[in-house]
Amino acid sequence: MIAAKSFTQNTLPAGRQVDLVDKRALKIYTMDQINEMPYYKILQINYLYISSYIIPDEMKGVISPADIDMTQYFLHRKEKERVTVDLGINGEKRTGKYIILLSFQEVNLAFKDIENNNCNNKK
């Protein structure tokens, strides 16, 4: 898992936040919405898509992180505990491939760390 602090950066090209955001987020946000976001928010979105889950050792090499679209799994996250979800949980038949979602508490803590570490980089 990538620590939230590894996302910090001191400079941001004005109006080019869309170049920094994980491309899977473009399914939810427009390019204009992203370009209006504060820098820390971009980092939080990236954390959500890159680090808010764990690929168990037995699934490494079977599952590519680039193939995991977290928008499909938001509703399965639990408040205080991690949950294992099959990658086919949303409409497809079970695949046997799974990830472990971090709890809302863990994600919210990472979000606060990201914001606190990037409070001077609002845009």
Domain that holds residue 26: 10-117
C-alpha span between 113 and 117 (Å, rounded):
6
Query: Beta strands of the chain (E only): which ranges?
Result: 53-54, 83-86, 98-101
pLDDT band at 49 (very low <50, low <70, confident <90, very high): very high
In a domain, 95, yes or no: yes
- Total domains in the fold of the chain: 1
Is the residue at 106 inside a domain? yes
Please indicate, yes or no, if residue 1 is contained in any of the structural domains: no
Tokens (6 digits) for 81: 């505990």
pLDDT at residue 7 tops 70: no
Residue 13: predicted pLDDT: 55
Let me know: does 58 contact 40? Beta carbons within 8 Å. no
Quickly state the pLDDT bin for 72 (edges 50, 70, 90).
confident
**C-alpha to C-alpha distance for 39 and 30, rounded to whole angstroms:** 16
Decide if 61 is inside a domain: yes
Of 98 and 123, which is predicted with more confidence? 98
- DSSP character for 99? E
In a domain, 109, yes or no: yes
Over residues 73-118, the pLDDT tens digits come to 888 999 999 999 998 865 667 788 999 999 999 999 999 999 999 9
